[in-house]
């Protein structure tokens, strides 16, 4: 059964009223919801408290058994620091220069789709927080705000992530990004087929969502999210029109029905039409990284899609050192970063920069742009503290000697 948005609004209105008499109190008074967010995991709890279960599952879930999802976090626990002492750390630097552009910290906001289900105009909120912090932001193909809307609203170092579902349509998207002033194109290549995301399958999650009784019930107990949803319903803004081809493209983007024939020749063709920085995202094999560079990429992004594609994948951290030995171009990495210490460990193993996914999404889901800015500030403070603790005054001086050798071998072998 499907229910109209008007009925949904009425239902959530009763849910909001129910808060006064106690119907909604369990949502607000959960003992595990922190009163002050001190780290990313606190923001994870705040996001879970504000979002309906179906939406939080979309944000939090992985593929298949979700082993890769949990493995991404576990590998960081295997790595131990080996601090240096009697070093002048009175002035610490965490700024880097990437592709000729300076940024204040060695991380940035990576591409994530469907964000408008988390917070109204979430992609704009993420982009604005990134600009305020002095770090790049990456807009995804299935974003809730369009290429042009974000470019107009945020004058900063913006990247665009490209999914290839239709070759001609992808050329149009790349041209739009070029015209709008995006500095970097990120080609995601690990979605030739969609991951088996069982949480989304079980919940029937999609954008826009069907107003089923279960969604209504979820909305009643999450009235703040529900009112935002009604006033600003989620959409895939880069494909919004009455054109049948665009409607089909929205479905393909949401279902990640992408071009399974995309190969090295197709990468070379994309290189020919994109004159600015081109990165390839989704690499988990050092030899593939080498081929990407040989076929025109300016750098690569090691990633297992946050555990959302191959449920039994290794962590990109486990192939970072090998890839660094074989590739002299910039190496970026994502998947599982929740602490400033995690970022430092990746830099020590050879990464040039870290892309954040869920970490900043927890922030935007909990409190919009302000939440994102707070997550960024938390990570910056953690990085500064770790630099002091390990006796390294500048992130650009990090190297494997700051990590215990046995812990590196253990991490790579698990």
Write out the catalytic residue numbers: 305
- 3-class secondary-structure state, position 315: coil
| Main-chain phi, psi angles of 358, to 5 degrees | -65, -30
Distance CA 245, CA 260 (A): 19
Distance CA 106, CA 375 (A): 14
- 3-class secondary-structure state, position 257: coil
Task: Output the DSSP codes for 330-355.
Answer: -EEE-SS--SHHHHHHHHHTT-SEEE
Distance CA 44, CA 364 (A): 10
Six-digit token string for 63? 């593929």
Burial of 13 (0-12, 13-18, 19+ CB in 10 A): middle
Q: Smallest Cα–Cα separation from 361: which of 60, 2, 94?
A: 60
Distance CA 398, CA 403 (A): 10
Distance CA 177, CA 276 (A): 11
Distance CA 301, CA 188 (A): 9
- 3-class secondary-structure state, position 93: strand
């Amino acid at each position: 059964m499907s229910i109209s948005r008007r009925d949904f609004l009425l239902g959530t209105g009763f849910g909001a009223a129910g808060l006064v008499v106690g119907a909604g109190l369990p949502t607000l008074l959960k003992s595990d919801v922190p009163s002050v967010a001190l780290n990313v995991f606190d923001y994870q709890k705040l996001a879970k408290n504000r979002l309906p279960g179906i939406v939080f599952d979309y944000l939090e879930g992985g593929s298949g058994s979700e082993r890769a999802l949990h493995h991404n976090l576990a590998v960081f626990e295997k790595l131990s620091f080996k601090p240096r002492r009697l070093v002048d750390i009175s002035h610490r630097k965490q700024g880097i220069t990437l592709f000729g552009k300076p940024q204040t910290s060695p991380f940035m906001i990576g591409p994530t789709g469907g964000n408008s289900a988390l917070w109204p105009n979430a992609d704009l909120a993420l982009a604005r927080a990134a600009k305020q912090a002095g770090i790049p932001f990456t807009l995804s193909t299935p974003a809730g705000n369009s290429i042009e809307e974000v470019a107009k609203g945020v004058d900063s170092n913006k990247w665009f992530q490209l999914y290839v579902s239709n070759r001609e349509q992808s050329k149009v998207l790349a041209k739009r990004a070029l015209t709008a002033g995006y500095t970097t194109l990120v080609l995601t290549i690990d979605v030739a087929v969609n991951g088996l995301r069982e949480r989304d399958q079980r919940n029937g999650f999609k954008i826009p969502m069907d107003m089923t009784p279960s969604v209504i019930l979820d909305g009643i107990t999450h009235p703040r999210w529900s009112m935002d949803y009604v006033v600003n319903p989620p959409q895939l803004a880069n494909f919004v029109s009455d054109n049948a081809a665009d409607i089909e493209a929205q479905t393909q983007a949401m279902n990640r029905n992408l071009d399974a024939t995309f190969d090295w020749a197709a990468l070379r063709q994309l290189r020919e039409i994109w004159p600015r920085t081109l990165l390839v995202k989704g690499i988990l094999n050092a030899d593939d990284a080498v081929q990407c560079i040989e076929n025109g990429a300016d750098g690569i992004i090691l990633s297992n899609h946050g555990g959302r594609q191959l449920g039994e994948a290794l962590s990109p951290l486990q192939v970072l050192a090998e890839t660094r030995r074989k590739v002299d171009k910039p190496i970026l990495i994502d998947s599982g970063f929740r602490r400033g210490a995690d970022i430092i460990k990746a830099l020590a193993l050879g990464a040039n920069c870290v892309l954040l996914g869920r970490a900043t999404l927890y922030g935007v889901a909990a409190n919009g742009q302000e939440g994102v800015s707070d997550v960024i500030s938390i990570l910056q403070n953690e990085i500064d503290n770790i630099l002091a603790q390990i006796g390294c005054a500048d992130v650009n001086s990090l190297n494997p000697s700051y990590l215990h050798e046995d812990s590196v071998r253990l991490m790579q072998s698990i």
